[in-house]
Amino acid sequence: MKVEEIRKDFPIFQQQVNGHPLVYLDNAATTQRPRQVVEAVMRFYQDANANVHRSVHTMSYRATELYEGARKKIASFINASSWREIVWVRGATEGLNLLAYSLGLYHLREGDEIVLTVMEHHSNMVPWQRIAQLKNLRIVYAGVTPEGRLDIEDLKAKISSRTRLISVIHASNVLGVVNPVGEIAQLARDAGAIFIVDAAQSAPHMPIDVEAMGCDFLVASGHKMLGPTGIGFLYGRRERLEAMEPFQSGGDMIEHVTLEGATWNELPWKFEAGTPNIAGAIGLGAAVDYINNVGLTDMLEHEKELRRYAVERIRELGGVDIYTPDGDDVLGIVSFNIHGIHPHDVAGYLDQCGIEVRSGHHCTQPLMECLRIENAVRASFYLYNTKEEVDRLVEALARVKKLFRV
Ligand code: C6P
């Protein structure tokens, strides 16, 4: 991959932070945007701005074409069988809330069980907990193995005749491990359960094929894959979406309204109430074009190589706990702690060196509890990162160890 060429598309890397060239290693939180994405959003506002679906004028047709065109790009990006299976949402969080409420309120009954894992992001835990309270459902959690992988045997043991739904993180935002979703899809089918995949951390980094995976639903966030904030997508198998009630209600999601009630629009608009994030969807379409041009397979190899290199060099420092397991099933994420230094102090020092990483619980407090920690430092890589940047990270870590005398 021509990383130096790629970096030229990202104006943000031309700046200095705290007197140093910016090293951006917080890509699991949000990625940077190439100028192609920024320009697509700008072009929409400058040349084609209007509301979608509502008006018969030329500008509205133009906006609608761009907006719906972006949806088709997402459908092909994840190999959905139809663009009608792609619902625009604000991000993975809204996608999971949509599912928790639309499925939970109408399709789950008292005593039904939901299987999650302890490595879920809070977004795939808290909405289910709230629905479980409302509807008297039971949530059971599959654990992680000591080396930091999903305990698949435990997951199998947690599936029972009462299991109605299984929802699983595809790639952990802390451990970087990719879960065997194909195998879990088969377990869900055997149990007659709905299967949901949280692809917030996988869709930006590895090819996704929802047909081959066999999931019923999948969610992802645009801002973690070079796209704008406030836009993401929910994939849903057509017959599942057809059978579901809407989440939010208002304009555009209806077919006909009387004073007594309403009927619903066709898919996918049944789930898109109100004026959507038109510019965001168009920007995400441009982001997908950019990723396709570079090639996800090459990106994945590059990011895994950076992770391998970073783990090796961080390990050499000594006095470090690394939570990310080794293996080819691990994406470009390294989570660690330096003995005797609080992760926020590490991240604060790195920031002084122009190096941006995340520290904290990463919205995975139950996973942190399993790891017997409260917080960790996390470096997460993307296509524009380099080995030289990893070197700068490791050199700064060595300095912070000296500074704290550990
Ligand atoms: N993780 C991180 O730093 P939103 O905020 O809706 O775009 O994505 C939520 C979400 C859902 N699932 C997973 C696996 C995630 O990693 C995230 C977001 C960020 O790890 C922010 S907490």
Interstrand relation of 217-221 and 194-198 (parallel, antiparallel or unpaired): parallel
Domain definitions of the chain by residue range? 3-30+295-401, 38-292
Backbone φ, ψ for residue 22 (5° rounding)? -60, 130
Burial status of residue 133 (CB atoms within 10 A of its CB: 0-12, 13-18, 19 or more): exposed
Backbone φ, ψ for residue 132 (5° rounding)? -60, -40
Mean pLDDT of 128-133: 98
Residue nearest to atom 15 of ligand 1 (CA): 200
pLDDT in tens, 199-211: 999 999 999 999 9
Residue nearest to atom 1 of ligand 1 (CA): 29
Q: Does residue 121 have its Cβ closer than 6 Å to ligand 1?
A: yes
Q: Does residue 218 have its Cβ closer than 6 Å to ligand 1?
A: no
Cβ atoms 179, 142 nearer than 8 A: no
Q: Which of 30, 363, 368 best tests ligand 1's pocket when mutated (most atoms within 8 Å of CB)?
A: 363
- The pLDDT value recorded for residue 245 is 96
Residue nearest to atom 3 of ligand 1 (CA): 29
pLDDT band at 194 (very low <50, low <70, confident <90, very high): very high
Burial status of residue 328 (CB atoms within 10 A of its CB: 0-12, 13-18, 19 or more): exposed
Torsion over CA of 372, 167, 324 and 18, rounded to 10 degrees?
-90
Spacing, Cα 29 to ligand 1 middle (Å): 6
Mean pLDDT of 394-398: 98
Q: Does residue 358 have its Cβ closer than 6 Å to ligand 1?
A: yes
Q: Does residue 31 have its Cβ closer than 6 Å to ligand 1?
A: no
pLDDT in tens, 257-316: 999 999 999 999 999 999 999 999 999 999 999 999 999 999 999 999 999 999 999 999
Q: Which atom of ligand 1 is nearest to the CA of 221?
A: 7
Return the CATH architecture of domain 3-30+295-401: Alpha-Beta Complex (3.90)
Q: Which of 173, 196, 233, 377 best tests ligand 1's pocket when mutated (most atoms within 8 Å of CB)?
A: 173
The number of angstroms, rounded, from the C-alpha of 62 to the middle of its chain's C-alpha atoms is: 30
Q: Could you confirm whether 370 is annotated as catalytic?
A: no
- The answer, yes or no, to whether residue 183 has pLDDT greater than 90, is yes
Q: Does residue 231 have its Cβ closer than 6 Å to ligand 1?
A: no
pLDDT in tens, 139-163: 999 999 999 999 999 999 999 999 9
Q: Does residue 92 have its Cβ closer than 6 Å to ligand 1?
A: yes
Q: Which atom of ligand 1 is nearest to the CA of 358?
A: 3
Residue 44 has what DSSP assignment?
I
- The pLDDT value recorded for residue 1 is 87
Q: Does residue 93 have its Cβ closer than 6 Å to ligand 1?
A: yes
Which residues, other chains included, contact 375 with Cβ-Cβ below 8 Å and sequence gap of 6+?
Answer: 337, 342, 343, 344, 359, 360, 361, 368
Burial status of residue 75 (CB atoms within 10 A of its CB: 0-12, 13-18, 19 or more): buried
pLDDT in tens, 348-366: 999 999 999 999 999 999 9
Mean pLDDT of 325-347: 98
Q: Does residue 201 have its Cβ closer than 6 Å to ligand 1?
A: yes
- Distance (Å, whole) CA 363 – CA 369: 12
Burial status of residue 37 (CB atoms within 10 A of its CB: 0-12, 13-18, 19 or more): buried
CATH class label, 38-292: alpha beta
What percent of the chain has pLDDT above 90?
100
- Distance (Å, whole) CA 400 – CA 403: 5
Comparing 3-30+295-401 with 38-292, is the CATH topology the same?
A: no
The CA-based diameter of the chain, rounded to the nearest angstrom, is: 72
Q: Which of 26, 93, 99, 123 best tests ligand 1's pocket when mutated (most atoms within 8 Å of CB)?
A: 123
Q: Does residue 103 have its Cβ closer than 6 Å to ligand 1?
A: no
- The pLDDT value recorded for residue 69 is 98
Q: Which of 224, 233, 361 best tests ligand 1's pocket when mutated (most atoms within 8 Å of CB)?
A: 224
Q: Which atom of ligand 1 is nearest to the CA of 363?
A: 22
0.75 surpassed by pTM? yes
- Distance (Å, whole) CA 10 – CA 28: 17
Which residues, other chains included, contact 194 with Cβ-Cβ below 8 Å and sequence gap of 6+?
Answer: 103, 107, 164, 165, 166, 188, 216, 217, 240
Mean pLDDT of 114-119: 98
Spacing, Cα 121 to ligand 1 middle (Å): 7
Residue nearest to atom 6 of ligand 1 (CA): 93
Residue nearest to atom 5 of ligand 1 (CA): 93
Residue nearest to atom 16 of ligand 1 (CA): 173
Q: Does residue 126 have its Cβ closer than 6 Å to ligand 1?
A: no
